[in-house]
Amino acid sequence: MHLLDCDTGVDDAVAILHLLGSGAPLAAVTVTFGNVGAAQAAENTLRVLHLAGRSDVPVAVGGESTLDGTPTRHSATLVHGANGLGGAELAPSPAALLDEPAPELIVRLAHEHAGELRIVATGGFTNLARALQLDPSIAGLVREVTLMGGAALAPGNVTPSAEANIMADPLAAAAVLGAGWPVVLVPLDATMTQLLEEDDWQRLADAGGVAGAAAEILDGYLDFYHGVFGRRCAAMHDALAVAIALGEVEPELAPRAHVEVDVSDGPSRARTIVDLRHRYRGYAPAVDSPVRVVLEAQQPLAPRLVERILAL
């Protein structure tokens, strides 16, 4: 059983479609701020689920402030468009948000599916951190937590050392990574090598329907990444985390490592400090850490991602 916690912008929308196309059981989607505000992300989530014919999936939203109460600002419109969905106008959903706040829902589902719930988080980690504050025992109930975030050896994407999901709420990221539950961290090291190319995008666009809508959502995203890679393509950050959580893409190199988050106010704020000093011995020595850091992934993600979306 899966729970997806996200800040639905372009790549989260694609990740939602991938998860739905896989047929894996989805207990709920919880929504946080990040790419856009939490309220906009919640609306986007409802519309993406409706697009895929899954308005039955419960959606709960968290707050608009960080773990320490700091109000948030969102400036990712250059990447995700004014509405967070690349400007694509999806039909409104007939479904409504749950009255239950996202952290409370996470706690409830962790107990209802004890030992079975797999959480995939592709936005900031405030909802998870608040759930842990409400009930620290869930760290022993959740089967696995897959986090898209951070950068081990790769540069950051919002500062030279910080990745966007960690920067959204560094204190929350530190709490989630330090909770002691089994974590698979999927950082930029892996996600920036898993690209949706122009040919993949064209397959979606030509198919129409849900796939065509996905292509419309992705169109401006590929334009943005042209400035990064020198061609129209896009890194599939969140979909890679989903694919790894589903077992559809296997990590090629994913050592256990101690991970800390810089929560200072200096130039390294939100940096993920990953202790990889054992790399020179082939990562062979056992490391006493519940966190596995995916540095490389095996299979190319894009073909499977396109197949999953075409299946909807």
- State the SS3 of the chain: CEEEEECCCHHHHHHHHHHHHHCCCEEEEEECCCCCCHHHHHHHHHHHHHHCCCCCCCEEECCCECCCCCECCCCCHHHHCCCCCCCCCCCCCCCCCCCCCHHHHHHHHHHHCCCCCEEEECCCCHHHHHHHHHCHHHHHCCCEEEEECCCCCCCCCCCCCECHHHHHCHHHHHHHHCCCCCEEEECHHHHCCCEEEHHHHHHHHHHCHHHHHHHHHHHHHHHHHHHHHCCCEEECHHHHHHHHHHCCCCEEECCECCEEECCCCCCCCCEEEECCHHHHHCCCCCCCCCEEECCEECCCHHHHHHHHHHCC
* 225 Cβ contact partners less than 8 Å away, ≥ 6 residues apart: 232, 233, 234, 235
Q: Residue length, the chain? A: 312
Q: Which two tokens stand for residue 207?
A: 């198919």
Burial 76-108 (b: 16+ CB within 10 A, else e): beebbbebbbbebebeebebebeebbbbbbbbb
The active-site residue out of 18, 74, 80, 237 is 237
Q: Is 111 a catalytic residue?
A: no
Alpha-carbon span 55 to 48, nearest angstrom: 9
Q: Is 2 a catalytic residue?
A: no
The active-site residue out of 5, 7, 11, 200 is 7
Which residues participate in catalysis according to the annotation? 7, 237
